[in-house]
Amino acid sequence: MTLRVAIVGAGPAGIYAADLLTKSETAVSVDIFERLPAPFGLVRYGVAPDHPRIKEIVKALQRVLVHPDVRLLGNVDLGVDIKLEELREFYDAVVVATGARSDRDLGIPGEHLPGSYGAADFVSWYDSHPDVPRTWPLEAEHVAVLGAGNVALDVARVLAKTGDEMLSTDIPAHVHEALVAKRTTDVHVFARRGPAYAKFSPLELRELAHSPHVDVIVHPEGFEVDEASMEHLNRNKQAKMVLSTLANWVGREPEGKPHRIHLHFLEQPVEIAGDGRVETLRTERTRLVGDGTVEGTGLVTNWDVQAVYRAVGYRSSAISDLPFDDRAAVVPNEGGRVVDLDGRRVPGTYVTGWVKRGPVGLIGHTKSDAAETVAHLVAETTPTATSRQPGDVDAFLADRGVDVTDLEHWLRVDQHEIHLGEDSGRLRVKLPGRDELLAAGR
């Protein structure tokens, strides 16, 4: 008998799981449920607009969606439109692949003052996520970005570049207009550790210097490498490439461009302060301990900034009717098999991607995650669903009044966005709202 599998989340993690299921020796029928009217998760709504190369992965993901044993059911919210227990009526197994979209807290005083923002929220805004407001406050001239990963670089780059530089991307009019009007001149990126431990990818780092309007300034204070750092570099080719680029920029004279990105190492944020909104970021100088970690020195610097962006990591959110480890921000699991907080297996329920292991790693890790989860699912799952026809779940959602979108709907949206970009010589112009996505798909 063909196994019926529901996957919740149409980002890379969920789609890779579907791909592996269809390539297994077990006969399967896979339905992928997505909360948004459009698929692809953080590839569509988490990659910076000026990185179209990374978004090329959509082509491979879309090939999975056209497989005859895979269906896309978009605009369906687990816990709102259908409960987990209701899914079990129609599917023998459920794989949750909802990813991570929230910002991790810093845990310092003042981090939630007005003017202090989570990077994930800003990314959602400039990527035109349909569930976020279309406006964003961009009055700050001096901005701090906290973090030493690619998201921090994305935020710094988008804030520093001119709005017109972004016009060649897929951003819609409201994002372009806001970026043109922004007042940012200086973006300060702060890393708690030394330059050897920056999590930037070499390509993303080099791209900072590609803008004709932005000077990149690496401040020599804190640019330190010790013996432990060298050992780390010898084990990590990418880190060595990043350090080489940074070293070439240390002490380089600015060219007088109108915008600047400053990179500061060995500075950890300790407080965000201000009278009713962000006015000051306080950082403490750290020092290398010799084992790859750092400790505070007690030397505090006040930075006059009007906005702070916290790019210290994403975290997953609790999923309705599933156990959740709030400390680790994952669904507790053993190799992708969901367990409750007492360690007991939850039958027929699996996880993959960031909600399984936390928001670390790249696409390759997501594939190996899915392979582990799917291997367990295929080996363990037996037919348990009582309503086994695809039309059964369709009728259930129709009775609930859910406006379900399918692959044909998405393909019409895709063509419409491409058409919108043709007049301006762009690859596409992204539709910004849920209503626009639903209308275009119809």
The region, left, alpha or beta by phi > 0 then psi within -120 to 50, assigned to residue 183 is alpha
Within 13 Å and on the Cβ side, how many CA atoms surround 163?
15
Distances (CA, A) of 276 to 281, 303, 309: 14, 17, 17
**191 lies in the same domain as 205:** yes
Query: Per the domain annotation, does 349 fall within a domain?
Result: yes
* HEC letters along 313-329: CEECCCCCCCCCECCCC
Domain end position, chosen among 314, 339, 355: 314
Residues 332, 340: Cα–Cα separation, whole Å: 7
Do residues 273 and 333 both lie within one domain? no
Classify 437 as helix, strand or coil. helix
Q: What average pLDDT score do residues 105-119 get?
A: 96
pTM for the model: 0.94
* Sequence letter at residue 69: D
Q: What is the mean pLDDT of the chain?
A: 95
Q: Are residues 121 and 216 in the same domain?
A: yes
In this predicted structure, the answer to whether residue 362 has a pLDDT above a threshold of 90 is no
Would you say residue 364 has pLDDT above 80?
Answer: no
Q: Sheet with 280-288: list strands edge to edge.
A: 267-273, 280-288, 294-304
- Which residues span the domain enclosing 55? 3-101+316-405
CB-based contacts of 112: which residues, under 8 Å, 6+ apart?
A: none
Same structural domain for residues 179 and 278?
yes
Answer for the pair 236, 190: CB distance below 8 angstroms, yes or no: no
Number of domains in the chain: 2
Using 50, 70 and 90 to split pLDDT, how confident is the model at 353? Answer: very high
DSSP string, 253-299: PP---SEEEEEE-SEEEEEEE-SSS--EEEEEEEEE-SSS-EEEEEE
Q: Are residues 155 and 221 in the same domain?
A: yes
Q: pLDDT band for position 3 (50/70/90)?
A: very high
Compute the residue count for the chain.
Answer: 442
**Residue 308: partners with Cβ closer than 8 Å, 6 or more residues away:** 111, 115, 116, 117, 143, 144, 145, 146, 269, 272, 278, 281
Write down the pLDDT at residue 214. Answer: 97
Q: Give me the mean pLDDT over the 77-84 stretch.
A: 96
Query: Does residue 380 sit within a domain?
Result: yes
**CATH number of the domain to which 19 belongs:** 3.40.50.720
Model confidence over 147-179: pLDDT tens digits?
999 999 999 999 999 999 999 999 999 999 999
Please tell me the predicted confidence (pLDDT) of residue 53.
80
We report the CATH number of the domain holding residue 121 as 3.50.50.60
Examine the domain organization and report whether 188 and 73 are in the same domain: no
**Percent share of the chain, pLDDT over 70:** 99
- Which residues in 97-107 are b (16+ Cβ under 10 Å) and which e? bbbbbebbebe
Task: Annotate 102-128 with DSSP letters as a single string.
Answer: EEPP---TTTTSTTEEEHHHHHHHHTT
Question: Of all helices (H) and strands (E), which one includes residue 144?
Answer: strand 142-146
State how far Cα 160 lies from the chain centre.
20
With respect to residue 432, please indicate whether it lies within any of the assigned structural domains.
no
Does residue 341 lie in a domain region?
Answer: yes
Does 100 or 39 have the greater pLDDT score? 39
Q: pLDDT for 27-56, tens place per residue?
A: 999 999 999 999 999 999 999 999 888 888
- Domain end point (choices 271, 292, 314): 314
Those residues whose C-beta lies under 8 Å from the C-beta of residue 268, and which sit 6 or more positions away, are 190, 192, 283, 284, 286, 294, 296
Q: What is the pLDDT of residues 382-418, one digit of tens each?
A: 999 999 999 999 999 999 999 999 999 999 999 999 9
- Whether 191 is in a domain gets the answer yes
**pLDDT of 264-293, one tens digit each?**
999 999 999 999 999 999 999 999 999 989
Q: Is residue 437 part of a domain?
A: no
